[in-house]
């Protein structure tokens, strides 16, 4: 309880600032309406006019929550207006990309740890590849894959994979190297070979690092999937909701898509957290 209370206060503060900002930003429209109608408005009327606008500059939190409720609970899941439908599409691309990226990342890390050449030649490029804004390549990857004939889930998954593989590589390399010299020497005295050393010492020792980097990776792959939906002018998915929202000035739609993305991200990171706790507890590695 002691740790929850300050968080709640901060969140309440953010909501309060949001309302104040929304009132301030939305008055322009109310005042313009009043000017057109040639009526004078009292301060209370101006403030009241900021609430419940159709296309506010900054929607009120309650409007966003209402929109979220309407598009998730009150609509059928199969409907094109259901946010769950769009979130599901983004989620499937995210998960596919995350699986590819994490798998590749782990393989690459194993290679880097076991081969000096790979360590020296691949690692600098892997690091350099992250200073490139990968998302900038997203439109090109999608258009190129489209012209080769690959469509649908896979192009988005490729971008997700690209974003999620690096944190996994770095974390996994760190983890596979975390056994200290004493432990490695012990395995030598057991005359364990490299494979045994890998399966019985390095891999188990790397798990805490792996889970920490999987959390970062899954958040990154959600970002990848959302951005991947932008350039094709996709009609489905959370990114597409944001794009159409920005075309038609449907601010409430953008914000609710944004919140849905946040909920999905929290869900994914939380899921990995649960897996982490369960498996580390099984292994007796909980701090």
Partner 1 sequence: MKFFASGGSIFANKKELPFSSPTRETWIVVGGGICLGVAGILLTLPGLGTAVSIVLLVGVWATLWWQNARLANWQPKARWQVALRDVSVPFVFGVTLLLLWELAVLKFEISPVILPPPSAIATRLFAAHNMLWQDFVQTFIKGALTGYTMGVAAAFAVALVADRSDFLRRGLLPVGNFMAALPIIGTAPILVMWFGFDWHSKAAVVVVMVFFPVLVNTVEGLRASAPMQRDLMQTYGAGYGQTLWKLRVPAAMPFVFTGLKIATTLALIGAIVAEFFGSPIKGMGFRISTEVGRLALDMVWAEIVVAALAGSAFYGAIALLERVVTFWHPSQRARG
Q: Binding residues for partner 1, per CB under 8 A?
A: 3, 6-11, 14, 57, 113, 116-117, 120-125, 128, 130-137, 139-140, 143-144, 147-148, 177, 180-181, 184-185, 188, 215-216, 219, 222-223, 226-227, 230-231, 238-239, 242-243, 245-246, 249, 251, 254-255, 257-258, 261-262, 265-266, 269
Instruction: Closer to partner 1 by CB, 45 or 190: give it.
Output: 190
Shortest approach of partner 1 to residue 33 CB, angstroms? 19
Q: What is the 3-state secondary structure (H, E, C) of 161-189?
A: HHHHHHHHHHHHHHHHCCCCHHHHHHHHH
Contacts of 80 (CB under 8 A, 6+ apart): 236
Instruction: Closer to partner 1 by CB, 46 or 265: give it.
Output: 265
Shortest approach of partner 1 to residue 80 CB, angstroms? 20
Shortest approach of partner 1 to residue 141 CB, angstroms? 10
Whether residue 96 contacts residue 106, with contact meaning beta carbons closer than 8 Å, is answered with: no
Instruction: Closer to partner 1 by CB, 107 or 134: give it.
Output: 134
Q: Is the dihedral of CA 105, 110, 172, 123 positive or negative?
A: negative
Contacts of 19 (CB under 8 A, 6+ apart): 60, 61
Instruction: Closer to partner 1 by CB, 43 or 128: give it.
Output: 128
Instruction: Closer to partner 1 by CB, 38 or 180: give it.
Output: 180
In terms of Cβ atoms closer than 10 Å to its own Cβ (0-12, 13-18, 19+), residue 156 is buried
Instruction: Closer to partner 1 by CB, 125 or 284: give it.
Output: 125
Which tokens in the block code for residue 190? Answer: 């057991």
Shortest approach of partner 1 to residue 46 CB, angstroms? 20
Shortest approach of partner 1 to residue 48 CB, angstroms? 23
Query: How far is the C-alpha of 217 from the C-alpha of 1, rounded, in Å?
Result: 30
Instruction: Closer to partner 1 by CB, 96 or 176: give it.
Output: 176
> Which residue from 258, 247, 237, 263 is spatially nearest to 155, judged by alpha carbons?
237
Which residue intervals of the chain are DSSP H helices? Answer: 4-37, 43-50, 61-72, 83-114, 116-131, 138-148, 153-176, 181-189, 194-197, 203-228, 238-248, 251-282
């Amino acid at each position: 309880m002691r740790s929850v209370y300050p968080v709640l206060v901060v969140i309440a503060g953010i909501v309060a600032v949001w309302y104040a900002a929304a009132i301030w930003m939305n008055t322009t429209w109310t005042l313009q309406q009043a000017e057109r109608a040639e009526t004078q408005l009292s301060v209370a009327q101006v403030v009241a006019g900021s609430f419940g606008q159709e296309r506010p500059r900054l929607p009120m939190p309650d409007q966003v929550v209402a929109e979220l409720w309407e598009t998730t609970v009150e609509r059928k899941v199969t409907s094109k207006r259901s946010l769950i439908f769009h979130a599901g599409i983004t989620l499937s691309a995210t998960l596919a990309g995350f699986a590819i990226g994490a798998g590749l990342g782990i393989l690459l890390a194993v290679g880097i740890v076991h081969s000096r050449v790979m360590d020296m030649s691949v690692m600098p490029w892997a690091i350099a590849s992250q200073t490139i804004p990968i998302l900038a390549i997203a439109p090109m990857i999608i258009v190129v894959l489209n012209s080769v004939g690959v469509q649908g889930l896979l192009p988005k998954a490729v971008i997700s994979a690209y974003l999620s593989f690096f944190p996994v590589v770095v974390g996994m390399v760190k983890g596979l190297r975390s056994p200290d010299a004493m432990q490695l020497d012990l395995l030598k005295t057991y005359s364990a070979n490299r494979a045994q050393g890998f399966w019985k010492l390095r891999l188990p020792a790397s798990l805490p690092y792996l889970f920490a980097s999987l959390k970062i990776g899954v958040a990154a792959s959600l970002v990848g999937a959302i951005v991947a939906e932008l350039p094709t002018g996709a009609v489905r998915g959370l990114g597409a909701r944001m794009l159409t929202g920005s075309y038609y000035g449907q601010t409430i739609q953008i914000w609710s898509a944004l919140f849905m993305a946040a909920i999905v991200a929290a869900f994914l990171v939380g899921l990995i957290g649960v897996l982490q706790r369960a498996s580390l507890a099984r292994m007796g590695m909980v701090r």
